[in-house]
Amino acid sequence: MKKGFVVRRITWLMIAAALFFSIMMPSQSVNASAKTPQKTFMVYYRAWRDQAMHGVNTSILDPNPQSMLDLPYGIDIINVFSYVPAGQEAKAQPFFDKLKTVYAPEMHRRGAKLVRALDYDHMVDGLIQQYGQHPTASEVDDYVRALIYELSGQWGLDGIDIDMEKQPSAERVALSDSIIRTMGQYLGPKAANGTLLIYDTNGSYLAPFKNVMAYFSKLGYQQYGSGPNRTEKMRQTYTATGFSQDQILAGLSFSEEGDQNRWYDTNPHHFLDSNMHTVAEFARQNLGGMFVYAVDRDGRTYAEPDFSHISKTTYRWTKTAILETKGYPLSDIKAAAYRYLKKIAPRLTPTQHQTLHQQIGQATNAFEVNSVFMKDDFNDAVDPNFDAVREIQMGM
């Protein structure tokens, strides 16, 4: 990931956290239907590109054309990924207000859970800055409770995702082990209250993970720009520690604006060879699921105008990855497409309707079905609102 959260020394948060935990109840997220495939799909949603936030953490002043409400159905975990530079808090506040009052309740209604990202170094440094190198158990507990409230609890969210991209010393690992064991009393599988504690990483340095892995709900592996061969190596590494492959999510990325990295995880001309397809298939067969980073950049390229501008997405790739990771049968996806075609038929000419009907019938995979209605360019889509998972959940 690019940026995490700065841990602030705010004493009043400890008081607020105490109040929060005194009334903390299990997550109110709606349970998915028993018929819904059990694989997990997670997205990293960059808050600074939401409609409710403008001019934060960016030099690109294009308006943000979409909101969290536009995310596809079938997403199980939304990582609300945000970095707010000092002095821009007022600009960011409308988003967080809407997160609490609108976005989180709606995503919970859909059956999704929401977490916030926490950078590993910031997590450890925050403890050291506040209590020194040898904090007591009580001090660690105070720190953790305030941290959970600051990042998650005050917004009505469901947990924290710890972002690990370093190789910390043994001394720092000892501190992080203490933090995670304490955090695990309130979040994740040990807490048994419906909350989540996630560990995500881009490497195989096991020291910060192996002693505390029982406290994590999921492990997300950032393998941007890589196919199933790397996924399998990762699977072997982490399952060798005793961590279940059913808790592991393989992660790919869309192209961020202004970013010099070149992942090329999508390829609309050769879908079956794209990482987005091959990793989704691997995850369905061998892991607990999959995630995508910068979901708001779905379908964007590294060329102009995408590289320097913001535009609305149809979520064609994310919708496809959800269907493939969760293993929806092609017959069900086509049935959803036919049903949706019937809904929009009144605004189509007979020739258009016939053409689209034929394209659905001829489709050989989920991407081709989605492509009947959607292109990566929002303005070229026949209907960018087609969402097979939503149609299936509505009942056909």
**123-136 residue pLDDT tens:** 999 999 999 999 99
Looking at 139, 165, 232, 281, which residue is catalytic?
Answer: 165
Q: What is the pTM of this model?
A: 0.92
Q: Using one digit for the tens of pLDDT, what is the confidence trace for 300-356?
A: 999 999 999 999 999 999 999 999 999 999 999 999 999 999 999 999 999 999 999
For 136-171, the pLDDT digits (tens) are: 999 999 999 999 999 999 999 999 999 999 999 999
Say yes or no to pLDDT of 23 above 50: no
Query: pLDDT-based confidence at 25, cuts 50/70/90?
Result: very low
Domains and CATH numbers, the chain: 12-327 (3.20.20.80)
Lookup: tokens for 293:
């980073």
Confidence of residue 6 (pLDDT cuts 50, 70, 90): very low
Q: How far is CA 336 from the centre of its chain?
A: 25
Determine the pLDDT at residue 14. Answer: 54
- How is residue 339 written in tokens? 């049903």
Q: So what's the pLDDT on residue 18? A: 52
Kindly report which listed range (18-27, 189-198, 351-360) carries the lowest average pLDDT score.
18-27
Distances (CA, A) of 386 to 71, 73, 338, 340, 344: 12, 10, 11, 7, 10
Q: For residues 190-195, give the mean pLDDT.
A: 97
Report whether 213 contacts 173 (CB < 8 A).
Answer: no
> What backbone torsions phi and psi does residue 109 show, to the nearest 5 degrees?
-60, -35
Residue 283 identity (one-letter amino acid): A
**Catalytic residue at 165?**
yes
Cα–Cα distance for residue pair 139/329, rounded to 1 Å: 51
Q: What is the pLDDT of residues 67-103, one digit of tens each?
A: 999 999 999 999 999 999 999 999 999 999 999 999 9
Q: What is the phi/psi pair of residue 213, to 5°? A: -65, -25
Percent of the chain with pLDDT over 90: 89
Query: Is the pLDDT reported for residue 181 higher than 90?
Result: yes
| Residue pLDDT, tens place only, 254-285 | 999 999 999 999 999 999 999 999 999 999 99
Q: Tell me the two tokens of residue 282.
A: 């691997």
Confidence at 34, pLDDT banded by 50, 70, 90: very low
Looking at the DSSP bridge assignments, the partners of residue 163 are 119, 200
If phi > 0 it is left, if psi is from -120 to 50 it is alpha, else beta; for residue 113 that is beta
pLDDT at 288: 98
pLDDT digits (tens, 9 = 90+) for 336-346: 999 999 999 99
Q: Which amino acid is at 100?
A: K
Q: What is the pLDDT of residue 395?
A: 81
Mean pLDDT of 290-307: 97
Output 38 or 231, whichever has higher pLDDT.
231
